[in-house]
Amino acid sequence: MLEPAARDAYLQLRKDPESRLYVAVKEVLTELLDNPGSERLRRLRYRPDTWAVPVRADDARWLVLWRPDPGDADLIQVHYVGPAPGES
């Protein structure tokens, strides 16, 4: 489940399906659906209940922030898709 701001950022990226950043973000989101327990997705804890996945493409550094839904173990909440801190 993408929260509204994360969804908007993803849809904006999707307007250019050839973009390396779009492809990299899509890869992370697909892996979240397929294997949320993967080491790559859980390497960086952002807060006690939130994970950060760095996404790099060309000169862009983005983050995907997510957590398991506390009410439904089968759902993933994606809170943020956008530039990493210090990036624009």
The model's pLDDT over 46-80, given as tens digits with 9 standing for 90+, comes to: 888 899 999 999 999 999 999 999 899 889 999 99
pLDDT at 88: 66
Residue 9 CA to residue 36 CA, distance in Å, equals: 21
Residue 37 structure tokens: 């327990």
As a whole number, mean pLDDT of residues 28-45 equals: 93
**Distances in whole angstroms, Cα of residue 46 to Cα of each of 18, 30, 80:** 29, 20, 12
Q: What distance lies between CA 25 and its chain's CA centroid?
A: 6
Average pLDDT, the chain: 93
